[in-house]
Chains A and B, each alone.
Chain A
Amino acid sequence: MPQTDAQAVADEELVGACVAGDRSAFDLLVGRHQRQIYKLCFRFVGNHEDASELAQDAFVRAYRALPKFERTAKFTTWLHRIAVNVCLNRLSVKRPPHEPFADVESAPSRDERADVAVLRQERAVWVRAAVARLPQKQRATLILRAYHDLPHDEIARIMGSSVSAAKANFCHALGNLKKLLGERVVDHHESPE
């Protein structure tokens, strides 16, 4: 498939090409969605090694299941569902270690004071640790909504639940996080950052 045309082709068209035997179409799908799927996996496991392995596993499973993909569905929803299942399966088997504190955050920006950057990193670590302690459905719902900005109806399809259940799970997740984080919660609208 020519590179210039490939950008304009919808995911679902690429799936059709892939099922017809065009392997390069799947390469394009991987290129388009690899960052999102990796980040999704990272949110679940909290370290690069497991996240990259899970993301790879999600794409391999997606490739195998492509012939079963229903063209009426949205490819990203379908792919996210596979990735979420891969992550939940992994978490049910083992709880991966989260990344060491020093590796978690990117380096402070030039304008950011060192103490503010350290504080920001510390908060991020606490938030991740708290998210990791949420029940699986709440955790998945929070990740998909807060970090991937997916609408509730799409999250409901991914999680195999109703839209109301997805919305309620999101609220429960935030409520539980508030309890887990306690005083560490900072109102970022009022913070000096």
Chain B
Amino acid sequence: MNHLSDVQFTAALEDELDPAGSAHLDACGACAAKVRGLRTVLASVLHAPVAEPSPLFWEHFGARVNKAIDSAQPPAAASWGWTANRGWLAAAAIVPLVMMIGALALYVIRSGADERSRPAPRTAAAEKPLDAGLPAGRAPAAVDTSDLAGDPPDDDRAWALMRSLAIDLHYDDAREAGILPRPGAIETAATELSALERAELVRLLQDELKRTGA
């Protein structure tokens, strides 16, 4: 004889047992005893109410929920926000720098090409040292020029400024900020240079290779 299943016992407790189950229950003392036992336990469970908090608790509960909503940052947004903030901070710091580097590089290339194509005597301004106007032995606060002596083109203030600003720019930071050039972009830019600009670029690259000993 098959006794009632757990699902049928639950149905029996709730007076929803199917006719076949009811017939079995009428005939089976073991199942009937189990149902009686479960009913007794259920009655004990139902006689254990929860103490109601004070009315004041409910008055303040909604306010507490609102405060928690306002003060807590969503977990998903929080984690996203942190990484996003890092990315944006890096981008905010690096994008102007890269734009400046690009503009200065173009200036260097063009001015170098102009100088070679149209030689002119050096002006006083061009010969003026980077730290001119500052007290002796003191470099400008924002630009460290101590390691620039002898750098090509060491007489170019713009180039010195660009190098100083870019010296702490790491490849990983630029990659994380998503500001690396697209694949092929450099090659495309190189093809758009004039003959003189390309010659100047070659000269700058060769000088840089010599300087670093590569």
Contacts and interface: CB of A to CB of B under 8 A. Distances in A.
B56 interface: no
B2 interface: no
B79 to A, nearest CB: 13
B52 interface: yes
B48 interface: yes
A26 to B, nearest CB: 8
Given A27-B62, A48-B53, A127 B7 contact: no
A127 B44 contact: yes
B44 A27 contact: no
Could you say which interface size class chain A belongs to?
A: 35 or more
Given A63-B69, A168-B6, A177-B41, A105 B62 contact: no
Given A168-B7, A171-B9, A178-B38, A106 B52 contact: yes
Given A31-B62, A124-B48, A146 B42 contact: yes
B171 interface: no
Interface in B124-164: none
Nearest to A187: B40
B44 A181 contact: yes
A30 B44 contact: no
Contacts of B42: 146, 174
Contacts of B51: 48, 103-106
B44 A123 contact: yes
> Interface SS of chain A: helix, strand, loop or mixed?
helix
Contacts of B58: 34-35
B189 interface: no
A34 B57 CA distance: 11
Contacts of A55: 61
B62 A186 contact: no
B81 interface: no
A178 B37 contact: yes
15 contacts: A23-B66, A34-B62, A48-B53, A55-B61, A56-B64, A60-B69, A105-B49, A124-B48, A131-B45, A147-B50, A152-B10, A167-B11, A168-B10, A174-B42, A177-B45
